[in-house]
Amino acid sequence: MERRSLTAAIFVHIAALLLAIIILAPVVWLFIMSISSTPDLIAKPLHWWPETVDLSRYGVLLSSAANSAGEAFVASLFNSLKVAGMATVAAIAVAIPSAWAVSRTPSVGWSLYAVIATYMLPPVALAVPLYMALAWFGLLNNVFGLALVYLTILAPFTTWLLKSGFDSIPREIESAAVMDGARLDQILRLITLPLAAPVVATAALFAFLLAWDEFFYALLFTSDQRAKTLTVAIADLAGGRVSDYGLIATAGVLAALPPLLIGLFMQRALISGLTSGGVKG
């Protein structure tokens, strides 16, 4: 770093402080709302820090008493876990062999572009037939049906990420094993996949976050506690007649917690994935 005048150093520090405030303020405010008592939240002038800290809403949302707000919330939490988990596993399972094939076979490389192109399709272009098909198979309002639909997003995306991961593993290692008479499944299982484990893990993490974040299909294809995901449950709270803003904020904090923790702790892996592909809106 070059020599800098004192003014420049002060300017940089002030700008950095400003950026930190811009990034942190909304997230911190969400948390403060979740622990503020209702009188603090509707006070004028507004109390930026609650006079009474109220943690009861966390208890309300995480309790599973019948017919409570908590029961619906916990159900949607589990639905989100199930749908995102199943869709991620299925997407990785179909993506691994195809990503490897594209990576090792230049003659089919063009098919990857077809795969990436589908990623740009707006979901509204597929929504009507998917709705009719799910209705036909009785899979509306069903976690399996929703997980299946999520493959429209996750399968192309994981294939794309895994392909660039396999590209960075030298083919010579595989050729040596071929010389020794190893079968294809042995090569993949014993040599390539262990080497690609970090890439597969990153792809799975991204896929899970995408599915956790998804809202449009979940809004269309689920209607009650049997399949409704967290994003839909929160949108219901925010758009409904709920007057307890703290409860809405608490639901937001709980839904944001897993991706925020993944984001902070898996930073390095995520950023290398982000900057290589520049993904997710």
Interface positions, 7-26, toward other proteins (CB under 8 A):
9, 12-13, 15-16, 19-20, 22-24, 26
131, burial (CB in 10 Å: exposed 0-12, middle 13-18, buried 19+): middle
**Contact range with other proteins by CB under 8 A, out of 59-67, 68-76, 143-151, 163-171:** 143-151
116-118-123 Cα angle (round to 5): 135
Which DSSP string corresponds to 159-171?
Answer: HHHHHHHHHTS-H
CA 139, CA 223: separation in Å to the nearest integer?
12
Torsion angles phi and psi, residue 217, rounded to 5: -65, -40
Q: Which is nearer to other proteins, 201 or 274 (CB)?
A: 274
| Residue 262 interacts with other proteins (CB under 8 A): yes or no | yes
Torsion angles phi and psi, residue 42, rounded to 5: -105, 15
Nearest approach in angstroms of CB 66 to other proteins is 26
| Residue 50 interacts with other proteins (CB under 8 A): yes or no | no
Answer for the pair 80, 233: CB distance below 8 angstroms, yes or no: no
Q: The tokens 């709270």 sit on which residue?
A: 237
Nearest approach in angstroms of CB 216 to other proteins is 5
- Residue 194 identity: P
- Please pick, from the candidates 73, 100, 157, 208, the single residue that binds other proteins as defined by CB under 8 A: 100
Q: Which is nearer to other proteins, 53 or 235 (CB)?
A: 235
- Please pick, from the candidates 124, 172, 181, 224, the single residue that binds other proteins as defined by CB under 8 A: 124
Torsion angles phi and psi, residue 36, rounded to 5: -90, 145
| Residue 252 interacts with other proteins (CB under 8 A): yes or no | yes
- Please pick, from the candidates 55, 108, 176, 190, the single residue that binds other proteins as defined by CB under 8 A: 108
| Residue 5 interacts with other proteins (CB under 8 A): yes or no | no
Q: Which is nearer to other proteins, 16 or 65 (CB)?
A: 16
Interface positions, 165-224, toward other proteins (CB under 8 A):
184, 209, 212-213, 215-216, 219-220
